[in-house]
A and B are shown apart, each in its own frame.
Chain A
């Protein structure tokens, strides 16, 4: 049994310790957010955040994750109560097929936690490992900029919801 801390909840899983996190999230924990895209660390569809950094869950065995904080897109909010980053993606209608988007949002989330007002090149740099085949890139960029703006105004206005 390995204990994983996923979106603030502690869960025990009986998968083989060599199993990449992606399969445990999607299989044992029935979370849809992280996607299988390549299994090779080349596309970012499987991106989740471990502690504070984006990682490819398709390459990271759960043996390496005992007791570390894992955030998936489910941890950013729900359909009924979307978080600020999700709201920004909805406002910009930043998806076509949407398959890449969870990974993109988590890269953006990790960036905004580190740097709430990133430059354009910092945003592009953070998203660079993520592939989008539908050509939604510009909308994704707009959504991240919007989230950053809204975070800044929430902070200065003292609004509680400052989770990216």
Chain B
């Protein structure tokens, strides 16, 4: 393997260097600093670690308020992204407060109302917000029971919380509304809570219909796209045709005269138009685009040589893991290289935001995943004090990571500033979304593994190359519209996300017991294409690589793929998940039909969150080479399950989305422009290619910490398909998208290049 000679940075310096990026995920205030977003929060010194996000917002009434009528309002700093988080959080509060979920109102991310929980990302919502609400609700219940005990003159432990009231053994009851006063819950949370007994849970673990669905099915105002404020006008942006293009000249006079046009924003290379009606804005945008002349520069790599070049780009070395114990003599050595193309988030609804600039203050309605970080970035962009910027999260089309949401909010803010007092709604066009959103970065991994004579893995060397997976707005420079202004904001230099969660190195470390192991991450700072967090980050390629390679090792050792994994695992939860998926799939009794094959893969997300195993059967059309996944069976362990159907929905969706990424998807570009700008140049999964069936088995672990599932299935699903493909046609495809790669290597690539 040829190596560039990158600067060596140790894990410690990577962590330190990545320190500022912790902001993107945890946003921990310094001890002694009031948690932002908890108005009136007194400075508290961090004492004992509080559970979940209580750490950042320790006052109970930041999370939970009860009015005099007994109505409960729960506050979360997380956002509903279509993952059903609202319903799950209501279930948690309902369980601990012993009231019906329907009696709870839930307020999601809003910089003037909810705690600051950073970004809704990384499958963290259940862990962070779910855990905080669980404890806040349990502690609130105990406080209420304590007050009731005093009033009734009996010990608190004789009281029961039941249906929104404290109930005494003799039947006397006092409703929560009569027990609370304004200050009751304005207290600091304790590190320990008396949680309700998991074996008695009635709402947690039950399938409660999602609260956000009915409006979405009946044309209710469910999305930021549906906001209609009084006097609202519409805007569209004319983007440059390529990264770094400069506006040479633009004739705006004729555009100004078009019907409905109210204003044209022209600031450096930034061009936008405001009109009374939405279609008038679209027509004016088209006219403005025709009236603009740009100067472009080729700055993109040669796509045909991308993977040959990627590993030669300057990189910094992050040592992920390394150990060496006494090993048996290796009998065989295998090595392989796995690749993943640039891919888009591709929300079906292009990014959108509404902004109102009034009296020197800005309000933005946004589907951003992080209203607090967005607020800071917008304040910086418009040079306003943070208190003058208010960001309210409203659901949009599913985002799957850092898409155009924050940029659209910046567009709306910049444009609204030009028409004070008027709410401005801006929605991106399809090409804006396809070409300008930050992509999931192209990645490359090389693995070298050895087996002993008995087919046990002896050694494992792994190198992965990737850009950053985090360019979320920490500052205005990560808001793409800011790059085009007369006084542009440059994108800050990227940094690797720190382990243990990691970015490009997320899941780079196999969970298997391997005596001699080295895992290195080659972090590439240069970003010719705009990139950021796409669901599961580096775990997608790393799990694809590790689990494909495990399959190659199993074939080389003539071992069963499931057995080989089980033999190298010590974690019983991992083993249980693998066995469950294999059994339900019928792995042991599988009979291969012509043109079909089976594949298996497993991972524990980030090596510290949900466990997922996926088995699939694929069929390959001999003529066309089209790959069809016939069925998939998954098993998942995400700790205590709040909403079993919610978990199934996430895993089902994660698998289908991963099939789409894995089989079909790649951003295309020439040396200057992104050329995949619509759904015909960037095809995705359609109904005809959807499996007959995806079965999801959820193993409940009552009392275990909540673990998110939004990103748990993508890596395993990708590898399971590649492994099934190898089983079906004996061709090992190591580059995503698989369909394109298989067409290219139709003549076949030998199984795991063996070295002697």
A joins B in a complex: yes
Is A77 at the interface (CB under 8 A from chain B)? yes
- A39 touches which of B214, B430, B657, B687 (Cβ 8 Å): B430
- Whether B214 lies near A97 (C-beta < 8 A) is no
- Whether A93 lies near B649 (C-beta < 8 A) is yes
State A162–B696 Cα separation when bound (angstroms): 33
Interface centre among A45, A98, A102, A135 (most CB of B within 10 A): A135
- Whether A73 lies near B217 (C-beta < 8 A) is yes
Q: Chain B residues near A124 (CB, 8 Å)?
A: 687-688, 690
State A137–B191 Cα separation when bound (angstroms): 43
- Whether A98 lies near B690 (C-beta < 8 A) is no
Q: Chain B residues near A128 (CB, 8 Å)?
A: 686-688
Q: Chain A residues near B346 (CB, 8 Å)?
A: 133
Interface centre among B218, B398, B427, B690 (most CB of A within 10 A): B218
- Whether A36 lies near B350 (C-beta < 8 A) is yes
State A90–B215 Cα separation when bound (angstroms): 10
State A100–B645 Cα separation when bound (angstroms): 20
State A79–B213 Cα separation when bound (angstroms): 10
Is A164 at the interface (CB under 8 A from chain B)? no
| Closest Cβ neighbor of A136 among chain B residues | B653
State A101–B217 Cα separation when bound (angstroms): 7
- Whether B210 lies near A132 (C-beta < 8 A) is no
Q: Chain A residues near B688 (CB, 8 Å)?
A: 124-125, 128
Is A95 at the interface (CB under 8 A from chain B)? yes
- Whether A137 lies near B279 (C-beta < 8 A) is no
Is B222 at the interface (CB under 8 A from chain A)? yes
Is A56 at the interface (CB under 8 A from chain B)? no
Is A42 at the interface (CB under 8 A from chain B)? yes
State A101–B84 Cα separation when bound (angstroms): 15
- Whether B259 lies near A16 (C-beta < 8 A) is yes
Is B338 at the interface (CB under 8 A from chain A)? no
Q: Chain A residues near B222 (CB, 8 Å)?
A: 32, 98
- Whether B218 lies near A37 (C-beta < 8 A) is no
State A102–B217 Cα separation when bound (angstroms): 6
Q: Chain A residues near B277 (CB, 8 Å)?
A: 15, 23, 27-28
- Whether A98 lies near B213 (C-beta < 8 A) is yes
Would you list which residues of chain A between 19 and 70 have a CB under 8 Å from chain B? 19-20, 23, 26-28, 30-33, 35-40, 42-43, 45
Please tell me the number of chain B residues within 8 Å of chain A, measured between CB atoms. 61
**CB of B693 to closest CB in A, whole Å:** 7
Is A150 at the interface (CB under 8 A from chain B)? no
Known contacts A32-B226, A36-B225, A137 near B213 by CB under 8 Å:
no
**CB of A51 to closest CB in B, whole Å:** 20
- Whether B213 lies near A93 (C-beta < 8 A) is yes
- Whether A79 lies near B220 (C-beta < 8 A) is yes
- Whether B657 lies near A16 (C-beta < 8 A) is no
Known contacts A16-B279, A93-B645, A138 near B349 by CB under 8 Å:
no
Query: Interface SS of chain A: helix, strand, loop or mixed?
Result: loop
Is B429 at the interface (CB under 8 A from chain A)? yes
- Whether A135 lies near B657 (C-beta < 8 A) is yes
- Whether A97 lies near B217 (C-beta < 8 A) is no
- Whether A79 lies near B398 (C-beta < 8 A) is no
**CB of A28 to closest CB in B, whole Å:** 8
- Whether B219 lies near A99 (C-beta < 8 A) is no
Interface centre among B346, B430, B691 (most CB of A within 10 A): B430
- Whether B679 lies near A42 (C-beta < 8 A) is yes
Known contacts A105-B217, A133-B398, A99 near B430 by CB under 8 Å:
no
Is A139 at the interface (CB under 8 A from chain B)? yes
Contact with A along B577-613 (1 / 0, CB 8 A): 0000000000000000000000000000000000000
- Whether A96 lies near B398 (C-beta < 8 A) is yes
- Whether A73 lies near B219 (C-beta < 8 A) is yes
Is B83 at the interface (CB under 8 A from chain A)? yes
Known contacts A99-B223, A137-B690, A138-B690, A77 near B218 by CB under 8 Å:
yes
- Whether A97 lies near B679 (C-beta < 8 A) is no
- Whether A96 lies near B83 (C-beta < 8 A) is yes
Contact with A along B684-722 (1 / 0, CB 8 A): 111110110110000000000000000000000000000
State A19–B276 Cα separation when bound (angstroms): 14
Would you list which residues of chain B between 404 and 427 have a CB under 8 Å from chain A? 427
Q: Chain B residues near A2 (CB, 8 Å)?
A: none
Q: Chain B residues near A97 (CB, 8 Å)?
A: 81-82, 347-348, 395-398
Q: Chain A residues near B680 (CB, 8 Å)?
A: 42
Q: Chain A residues near B221 (CB, 8 Å)?
A: 32
Known contacts A38-B679, A42-B679, A74-B218, A99 near B349 by CB under 8 Å:
yes
- Whether B218 lies near A73 (C-beta < 8 A) is yes
Is A111 at the interface (CB under 8 A from chain B)? no
Would you list which residues of chain B between 645 and 666 have a CB under 8 Å from chain A? 645, 649-650, 652-657, 660
Q: Chain B residues near A148 (CB, 8 Å)?
A: none
**CB of B616 to closest CB in A, whole Å:** 14
Is B678 at the interface (CB under 8 A from chain A)? yes
- Whether B214 lies near A90 (C-beta < 8 A) is yes
| Closest Cβ neighbor of B433 among chain A residues | A38
- Whether A45 lies near B217 (C-beta < 8 A) is no
State A23–B350 Cα separation when bound (angstroms): 15
Interface centre among B282, B400, B687 (most CB of A within 10 A): B687
**CB of A4 to closest CB in B, whole Å:** 15
- Whether A133 lies near B278 (C-beta < 8 A) is no
| Closest Cβ neighbor of A73 among chain B residues | B219
- Whether A37 lies near B348 (C-beta < 8 A) is yes
- Whether B687 lies near A42 (C-beta < 8 A) is no
State A156–B685 Cα separation when bound (angstroms): 37
- Whether B219 lies near A74 (C-beta < 8 A) is yes
Would you list the 7 A-B pairs with minimal beta carbon distance, nearest first?
A: A97-B82, A135-B656, A98-B216, A97-B398, A33-B219, A135-B653, A99-B397
